[in-house]
């Protein structure tokens, strides 16, 4: 299948969208941007291709009628088994890197104790892994560093308290190894992980395992050919693409928002370190925009700092802020001062939820200023970016927009985080429709799917 791909390299997460030849979304992928944009782009695309193959698998299973009423349950279990296989593979690589670090000699007398602690921790993580991916369990994060890191820290703390090596030395092993682990591609192919995942669940569904296995292998081997990729986002300059395949995130968010909600005229995107206010015309072309300059105050990272300060997950901030009864007025949106501001308010006796409600309103107030500068809020108004998932921020925005511009329709797509990638993928699709040459992309695809050629066969491809 020929596909076009859009990749949005954000400062916090990297997103990929895959479109089929008709321009329909067939796959989505997301990963954390790490310190290495190249790898992030590769991983996000791989995630999106995985997503595509699961969609293909779903169609193939339906046609085969092999699962007779249990297909949804099977797909869910297979997807969890696949994710578990990926997680275990990453744990193996984590162990390799930690052991390499331990053998460097720099831990001196502690080496043996740390090695033993590492074995203990990894044993626990592997033991707990199945439960982490069991039906009904929703992970706090999709990212390996968060899932494994949480378990690693908790086990390290116990081991240290029980007389093991110092906590920070044990956790130091993880910190030192996690980046190389994230920056390495999966050692096993899609097909290998899929079949291994299937092996974990095959017995539970009373199916003809050999026929299902054959079907899975066939889908996994179906070539996916990315005929054009367009990159956007903060790190787009890092992508190994020719210049005409790099588009500004302003244009991509404008177009993406238009595609999600065709009546969109104003777009607000609050990402990790950019806030963008964009006006678009009836066909999704940007007519005006403003973005934060020089300083990332009031952007998504601000909430990240606050979450760290409160020892909460980012997704927990909004619900807590929603419990507020007396919102605290907060003026500063300086990301660096956010922690100090929070502590000051706490020491003044303010409730956490009230401070949080004030912080959410503060960042939206800053976004309102940008919106005003870009030309105001016009109906319909679409809110995108990671912060759009935060209900407290959405409520503050809804309230302030109504106060300043009256009633307008506020659109927030459940997958709004993919808005920029959707715009980029659509630009890629339109380029192909407009006759963009196939010549450049072979080179491009080689660059971005090395070591393989243009096609991604899932089974043998390192992409």
Partner 1 sequence: MKGATAEKDASMQKQKEMIAHHFSELARVKETRKKVVYTFVPGNLTELINHFGMLPVLPEINALQSGMRGKSAEYISIAEKAGHSEDVCTYVKTDIGMLRAGNIGPTGEPLPKPDLLLLSYTGCFTFLKWFELLREEYDCPVVMLHVPYQGDGEITQEMREYVSNQIRDVVIPEFERVSGVKYDPDRMKEQLQLSVRAEDDLVWVLNSARARPSPIDAWFGGVYYIGPMFTSFRGTQDAVDYYTMLREEVQDRLDQKLGPVTPDGPMREEKYRLVIEGPPNWTSFREFWRMFADEGAVIVASSYTKVGGLYDRGFRHNPDDPLGTMADYCMGCYTNLNFPQRTALLESYINDFSADGFLINSVKSCNSFSAGQLLILRELEKRTGRPGGFIESDLVDPRYFSAANIKNRLESYFQMIEARRKGATS
Distance CA 442, CA 453 (A): 8
Site residue total, partner 1 (CB under 8 A) = 22
Q: In whole angstroms, how close is the CB of 457 to partner 1 at the nearest point?
A: 32
- Of the two residues 277 and 356, which places its CB atom closer to partner 1 in the complex? 277
> Could you say whether residue 99 binds partner 1 (CB under 8 A)?
no
Distance CA 190, CA 425 (A): 23
Distance CA 268, CA 383 (A): 5
- Of the two residues 204 and 287, which places its CB atom closer to partner 1 in the complex? 287
For 246-255, letters b (16+ CB in 10 Å) and e give bbbbbbbbbb
Q: Which of 4, 33, 90, 290 binds partner 1 (CB under 8 A)?
A: 290
Q: How far is CA 45 from the centre of its chain?
A: 11
- Of the two residues 283 and 348, which places its CB atom closer to partner 1 in the complex? 283
- Of the two residues 144 and 302, which places its CB atom closer to partner 1 in the complex? 302
Considering only the stretches 167-175, 205-213, 278-286, 449-457, report the one whose residues sit in contact with partner 1 under the rule CB under 8 A.
Answer: 278-286
> Could you say whether residue 299 binds partner 1 (CB under 8 A)?
no
Q: How far is CA 328 from the centre of its chain?
A: 31
Q: In whole angstroms, how close is the CB of 440 to partner 1 at the nearest point?
A: 17
Give the footprint of partner 1 on residues 249-268 (CB under 8 A): 249-251
Q: In whole angstroms, how close is the CB of 248 to partner 1 at the nearest point?
A: 4
Q: In whole angstroms, how close is the CB of 339 to partner 1 at the nearest point?
A: 23
Considering only the stretches 54-62, 165-173, 280-288, 316-324, report the one whose residues sit in contact with partner 1 under the rule CB under 8 A.
Answer: 280-288
Angle at 386 between CA 382 and CA 388, to 5 degrees: 40
- Of the two residues 109 and 293, which places its CB atom closer to partner 1 in the complex? 293
Helix (H, G, I), strand (E, B) or coil at 237: helix
Considering only the stretches 74-82, 207-215, 281-289, 339-347, report the one whose residues sit in contact with partner 1 under the rule CB under 8 A.
Answer: 281-289
> Could you say whether residue 434 binds partner 1 (CB under 8 A)?
yes
- Of the two residues 205 and 234, which places its CB atom closer to partner 1 in the complex? 234
Neighbours of 108 (CB within 10 A): 6
Give the footprint of partner 1 on residues 333-392 (CB under 8 A): 373, 375
> Could you say whether residue 286 binds partner 1 (CB under 8 A)?
yes
C-alpha dihedral, 27 to 149 to 41 to 86, nearest 10°: -50
* Bridge partner list, 411: 382
For 269, the token pair is 């995107």
CA distances from 390 to 78, 145, 153, 305, 460 (A): 30, 22, 27, 15, 39
> Could you say whether residue 332 binds partner 1 (CB under 8 A)?
no
Considering only the stretches 59-67, 187-195, 285-293, 347-355, report the one whose residues sit in contact with partner 1 under the rule CB under 8 A.
Answer: 285-293
Q: Which of 394, 389, 312 is nearest to 353 (CA)?
A: 312
> Could you say whether residue 291 binds partner 1 (CB under 8 A)?
yes
Q: Which of 49, 133, 289, 302 binds partner 1 (CB under 8 A)?
A: 289
For 412, the token pair is 């927030």
Burial level of 245, CB count in 10 A (0-12/13-18/19+)?
buried
> Could you say whether residue 285 binds partner 1 (CB under 8 A)?
yes
Distance CA 375, CA 90 (A): 48
Burial level of 33, CB count in 10 A (0-12/13-18/19+)?
buried
| Residue 385 backbone class (left: φ over 0; alpha: ψ -120 to 50; beta: rest) | left
Considering only the stretches 8-16, 67-75, 220-228, 289-297, report the one whose residues sit in contact with partner 1 under the rule CB under 8 A.
Answer: 289-297
Q: Which of 68, 283, 329, 331 binds partner 1 (CB under 8 A)?
A: 283
> For 342, how many CA atoms within 13 A lie in the half-sphere containing its CB?
24
> Could you say whether residue 248 binds partner 1 (CB under 8 A)?
yes
Q: In whole angstroms, how close is the CB of 251 to partner 1 at the nearest point?
A: 5
Considering only the stretches 202-210, 215-223, 263-271, 286-294, report the one whose residues sit in contact with partner 1 under the rule CB under 8 A.
Answer: 286-294
Q: In whole angstroms, how close is the CB of 222 to partner 1 at the nearest point?
A: 31
Binding residues for partner 1, rule: CB under 8 A, are 234, 247-251, 283-291, 293-294, 373, 375, 427, 430, 434
């Amino acid at each position: 299948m020929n596909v076009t791909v859009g990749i949005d390299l954000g400062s916090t997460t990297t997103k990929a969208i895959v479109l089929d030849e008709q321009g329909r979304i067939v796959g989505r992928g997301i990963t954390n941007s790490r310190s290495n944009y190249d790898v992030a782009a590769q991983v996000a695309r791989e995630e999106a291709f995985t997503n595509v193959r699961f969609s293909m698998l779903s169609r193939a299973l339906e046609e085969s009628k092999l699962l007779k009423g249990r297909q949804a349950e099977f797909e869910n279990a297979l997807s969890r088994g696949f994710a578990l296989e990926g997680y275990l593979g990453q744990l193996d690589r984590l162990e390799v890197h930690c052991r390499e670090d331990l053998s460097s000699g720099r831990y001196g007398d502690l080496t043996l104790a740390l090695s033993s602690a590492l074995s203990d921790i990894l044993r626990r993580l592997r033991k707990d892994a199945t439960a982490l991916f069991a039906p009904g369990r929703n992970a706090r994060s999709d990212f390996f560093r968060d899932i494994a890191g949480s378990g690693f820290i908790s086990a390290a703390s116990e081991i240290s308290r029980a007389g093991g090596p110092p906590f920070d030395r044990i956790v130091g092993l993880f910190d030192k190894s996690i980046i190389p682990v994230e920056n390495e591609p999966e050692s096993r192919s899609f097909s290998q992980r899929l079949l291994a995942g299937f092996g974990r669940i095959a017995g539970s569904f009373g199916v003809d395992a050999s026929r299902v296995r054959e079907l899975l292998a066939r889908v996994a081997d179906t070539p996916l050919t990315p005929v054009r990729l367009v990159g956007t986002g903060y790190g787009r300059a890092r992508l190994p693409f020719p210049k005409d395949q790099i588009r500004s995130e302003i244009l991509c968010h404008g177009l993406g928002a238009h595609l999600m909600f065709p009546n969109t005229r104003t777009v607000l995107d609050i990402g990790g370190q950019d806030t963008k206010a964009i006006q678009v015309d009836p066909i999704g072309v940007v007519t005006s925009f403003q973005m934060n300059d020089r300083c990332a105050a009031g952007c998504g990272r601000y909430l990240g700092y606050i979450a760290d300060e409160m020892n909460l997950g980012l997704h927990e901030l909004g619900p807590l802020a929603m419990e507020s009864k007396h919102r605290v007025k907060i003026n500063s949106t300086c990301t660096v001062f956010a922690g100090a501001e929070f502590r000051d308010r706490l020491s003044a006796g303010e409730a956490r939820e009230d401070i949080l409600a004030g912080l959410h309103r503060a960042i939206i107030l800053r976004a309102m200023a940008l919106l005003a500068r870009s030309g105001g809020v016009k109906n319909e108004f679409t809110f995108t970016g990671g912060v759009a998932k935060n209900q407290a921020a959405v409520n503050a925005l809804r309230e302030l927009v109504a106060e300043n511009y009256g009633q307008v329709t506020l659109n927030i797509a459940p997958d709004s985080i993919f808005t920029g990638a959707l715009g980029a993928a659509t630009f890629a699709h339109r380029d192909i429709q407009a006759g963009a040459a196939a010549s450049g992309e072979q080179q491009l695809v080689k660059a971005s799917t090395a070591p393989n050629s243009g096609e991604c066969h899932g089974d043998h491809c390192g992409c």
